């Protein structure tokens, strides 16, 4: 179904120098390259380190420079990245030779013609430069050492756009920014505090020449199709500091990738996840072309499940599982079952659950059972192994995206089904209870087919159960204006109590989502 082509150097989206470790020996310097389909790791020698284009920079202080337009091209002769819409300052990413004595790659532009630009978006800064009157512009700049290495690398590939008099967009393509912008804004506030970690980085990198074995390691390329990134020590709730690992579809994994700062770590994880999402979107589009409209794939993701060992002397462990919302069902791929590459993989999947029969509950911070955040539980129908499964996402953006897509899939599933019917016993009669998204609750006698009672979702005041086969409803009966509303108590016996409770919860959730959306439209 999916034919991956080998990436070429010209396909490089991002690259940077990082450290790589196997967890046992000393980390060594590598060049990390991200392409549209893979992550490439190439070992480096210290002699390959990129140097600054101005080694005489001693003090990182703001300075004022005057840049003159080119007489023919009307260009100021430098390229920029960043802006308030990306969470980073405006940064000089490339400089023409005639301005190298004035500007450095890694300079942040603070002011343009004495006007503060810290709150301007990328496009607004471009317009400000384009519209600058006269043949020169006055800039206040400050060298940002931590960003210089990355910008030196991207400058060689000419990735950014030139500041010309045309309307070229100089920012990274919007598809590269994704929903991680909010995380990047938060991380950029921590930028200055990371400078103190430079010493650790320098000491590790300076030992590169002593590790002769590492120089013989070949370049490695890891496919990003259905890959995932983890910041945790494998199987634990312990977060790594400024490092992460990549796990691939075929079971291989990178070493521990160590970044210089927390900001650099967040940027790399965001970039890799962006490529993974693009590849996933591509293969899902191909799969959906072969599926009926009622069987479309809405959402896929990796997440982590906590495994409780029966032996109390062993620490609890986590494992990664892959889930899919497809049609009206949830598919879980785990226990060495790979994510789906073709429609036959869904047929072979043994863990399939109707979405309306799943009960999801958010885990509050006080109820977490270890240090992992963004947790929730899933109670699945007919799950004989465990009452509920304790699950986790590593990043809040992934967690929020899952909750949104779960509600979306549940909404589509409920309105696709319209109603669910359960055999039950009421007042000694063999009956059927119908849960209908439009009508609410209806009880019919099976023999006479006579409706015994009906109530809307709004009339339901509360419900409880005995945990085995009995559910107790309290409905409010609306009477005339001069009469007092009464509470009706109804006891129903059902052999499939757990599924019935989950379905009622699903229909009530969808009803609430619909009312919330209607209120938003009205407002």
Residues 71 and 173 both lie in one domain: yes
Please check whether residue 267 lies inside any domain of the structure.
Answer: no
pLDDT at 384: 67
Residues 323 and 353 both lie in one domain: yes
Residues 79 and 144 both lie in one domain: yes
Q: How many domains does the chain have?
A: 3
User: What is the average per-residue pLDDT within 122-130?
Assistant: 89
User: What is the average per-residue pLDDT within 510-518?
Assistant: 79
Tens of pLDDT, residues 75-114? 888 888 888 877 788 998 888 866 767 888 888 899 999 8
pLDDT at 480: 64
Please check whether residue 234 lies inside any domain of the structure.
Answer: no
Residues 440 and 384 both lie in one domain: no
Q: Where are the beta strands (DSSP E) in 288-400?
A: 297-307, 317-326, 329-333, 352-354, 359-362, 375-379, 389-392
Tens of pLDDT, residues 19-36? 999 888 889 999 999 999
Where is pLDDT greater, at 59 or 511?
A: 511
Residues 390 and 424 both lie in one domain: no
Please check whether residue 255 lies inside any domain of the structure.
Answer: no
Residues 92 and 171 both lie in one domain: yes
**Using 50, 70 and 90 to split pLDDT, how confident is the model at 293?**
very high
Q: Do residues 42 and 28 lie in contact, with contact meaning Cβ atoms separated by under 8 Å?
A: no
Two tokens at 518?
């209607």
Please check whether residue 339 lies inside any domain of the structure.
Answer: yes
The CATH number of the domain holding residue 118 is 2.30.42.10
Asked if the model's pLDDT at residue 351 lies above 60, the reply is: yes
The CATH number of the domain holding residue 472 is 2.30.29.30
Tens of pLDDT, residues 327-342? 999 999 987 789 999 9
Of 384, 417, 450, which marks where a domain is finished?
417
Where is pLDDT greater, at 383 or 460?
A: 460
User: What is the average per-residue pLDDT within 176-202?
Assistant: 41
Residues 88 and 169 both lie in one domain: yes
The dihedral formed by the CA atoms of 94, 99, 101 and 106, expressed in degrees to the nearest 10: -20
Of 124, 145, 177, which marks where a domain is finished?
177
Question: Helices 181-188 and 396-417 meet at what angle, rounded to 10?
Answer: 160
pLDDT at 89: 86
User: What is the average per-residue pLDDT within 444-451?
Assistant: 95
Residues 336 and 433 both lie in one domain: no
Please check whether residue 335 lies inside any domain of the structure.
Answer: yes
Q: Do residues 225 and 231 lie in contact, with contact meaning Cβ atoms separated by under 8 Å?
A: no
pLDDT at 85: 79
Residues 383 and 313 both lie in one domain: yes
Asked if the model's pLDDT at residue 154 lies above 80, the reply is: no
pTM of the model: 0.68
Containing domain of residue 387, as a range? Answer: 290-417
pLDDT at 258: 94
What are the counts of helices (DSSP H) followed by strands (DSSP E) for the chain? 9, 27
Strands of the sheet containing 460-465, edge to edge, are: 451-455, 440-445, 429-436, 419-426, 486-493, 470-477, 460-465
Asked if the model's pLDDT at residue 174 lies above 50, the reply is: no
Residues 407 and 436 both lie in one domain: no
Please check whether residue 53 lies inside any domain of the structure.
Answer: no
Please check whether residue 453 lies inside any domain of the structure.
Answer: yes
Residues 412 and 453 both lie in one domain: no
Of 177, 211, 232, which marks where a domain is finished?
177
pLDDT at 411: 95
Residues 297 and 307 both lie in one domain: yes
Percent of the chain at pLDDT exceeding 70: 76
Please check whether residue 522 lies inside any domain of the structure.
Answer: no
């Amino acid at each position: 179904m999916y034919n991956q082509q080998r990436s070429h150097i010209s396909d490089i989206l991002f690259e940077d120098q990082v450290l790589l470790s196997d967890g046992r020996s000393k980390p060594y310097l590598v060049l990390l390259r991200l392409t549209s389909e893979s992550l490439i790791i190439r070992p480096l020698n210290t002699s390959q380190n990129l140097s600054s284009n101005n080694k005489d920079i001693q003090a990182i202080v703001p300075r004022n420079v005057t840049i003159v337009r080119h007489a023919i091209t009307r260009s100021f002769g430098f390229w920029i990245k960043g802006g308030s819409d990306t969470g980073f300052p405006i940064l000089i990413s490339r400089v023409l030779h005639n301005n190298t004595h004035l500007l450095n790659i890694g300079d942040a532009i603070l002011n343009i013609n004495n006007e503060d630009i810290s709150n301007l978006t990328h496009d607004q800064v471009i317009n400000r430069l384009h519209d600058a009157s006269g043949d020169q512009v006055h800039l206040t700049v400050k060298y940002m050492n931590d960003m210089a290495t990355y910008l030196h690398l991207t400058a060689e590939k000419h990735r950014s756009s030139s500041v010309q008099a045309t309307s070229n967009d100089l920012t990274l393509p919007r598809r590269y920014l994704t929903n991680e912008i909010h995380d990047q804004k938060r991380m950029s506030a921590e930028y200055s505090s990371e400078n103190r970690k430079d010493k650790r980085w320098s000491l590790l990198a300076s030992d590169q020449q002593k590790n002769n074995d590492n120089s013989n390691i070949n370049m490695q390329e890891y496919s990003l199709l259905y890959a995932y990134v983890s910041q945790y020590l494998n199987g634990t709730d312990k977060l790594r500091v400024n490092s992460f690992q990549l796990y691939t579809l075929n079971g291989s994994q990178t070493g521990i990738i160590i970044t210089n700062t927390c900001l650099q770590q967040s940027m790399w994880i965001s970039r890799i996840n962006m490529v993974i999402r693009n590849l996933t979107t591509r293969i899902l589009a191909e799969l959906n072309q072969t599926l009926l409209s009622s069987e479309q794939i809405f959402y896929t993701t990796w997440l982590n499940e906590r495994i409780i060992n029966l032996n109390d002397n062993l620490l609890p462990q986590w494992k990664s599982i892959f889930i899919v919302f497809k049609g009206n069902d949830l598919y879980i791929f785990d226990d060495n079952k790979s994510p789906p590459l073709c429609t036959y993989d869904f047929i072979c999947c043994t863990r399939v659950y109707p979405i309306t029969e799943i009960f999801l509950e958010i885990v509050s911070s006080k109820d977490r059972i270890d240090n992992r955040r963004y947790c929730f539980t899933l109670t699945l129908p007919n799950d004989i192994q465990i009452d509920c499964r304790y699950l986790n996402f590593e990043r809040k953006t992934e967690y929020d995206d899952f909750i949104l897509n779960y509600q979306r899939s549940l909404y589509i599933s409920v309105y696709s089904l319209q109603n669910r019917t359960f055999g039950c016993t009421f007042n000694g009669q063999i009956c059927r209870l119908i849960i209908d998204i439009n009508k609410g609750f209806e009880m019919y006698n099976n023999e006479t087919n006579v409706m015994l009672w009906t109530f809307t979702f709004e009339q339901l005041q509360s419900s409880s159960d005995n945990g085995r086969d009995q559910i107790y409803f309290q409905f409010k009966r609306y009477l005339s204006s001069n009469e007092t509303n009464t509470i009706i108590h109804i006891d129903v016996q059902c052999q499939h109590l757990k599924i019935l409770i989950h379905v009622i919860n699903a229909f009530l959730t969808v009803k609430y989502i619909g009312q919330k959306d209607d209120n938003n439209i009205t407002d």
